[in-house]
């Protein structure tokens, strides 16, 4: 059996991974993913069962994404509402 633990993408980050994580596109992706996961949790609580990521994604995009992106642009991408 081959040991893939030293190959990039197998638990180790490369310098290019660090660079990617600093891009605004990656940061927006992560922020959007967090919102979808929050939406998934809320809707799952309402439904009384896990609705799944795909359903939460489609529902969030259809109902909230445009407004959320507008809010992000106006707030300069800040997600901390306590400051």
The pLDDT value recorded for residue 23 is: 85
Give me the residues of the chain with pLDDT under 50, please. Answer: 81-83
pTM: 0.69
The pLDDT value recorded for residue 11 is: 61
The pLDDT value recorded for residue 7 is: 53
The pLDDT value recorded for residue 9 is: 54
CA atoms in the 13 A half-sphere facing the CB of 71: 12
Tokens of 63: 């109902």
Question: 29: how many CB neighbours lie within 10 A of its CB?
Answer: 11
The pLDDT value recorded for residue 18 is: 81
The pLDDT value recorded for residue 42 is: 98
The pLDDT value recorded for residue 81 is: 47
């Amino acid at each position: 059996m081959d040991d893939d633990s030293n190959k990039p993408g197998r638990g180790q980050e490369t310098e290019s991974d660090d660079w990617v994580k600093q891009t605004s596109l990656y940061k927006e992706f992560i922020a959007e993913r967090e919102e979808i996961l929050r939406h998934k949790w809320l809707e799952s609580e309402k439904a009384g069962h896990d609705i799944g990521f795909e359903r939460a994604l489609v529902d969030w995009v259809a109902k909230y994404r445009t407004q959320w992106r507008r809010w992000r642009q106006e707030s300069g991408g800040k997600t901390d509402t306590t400051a």
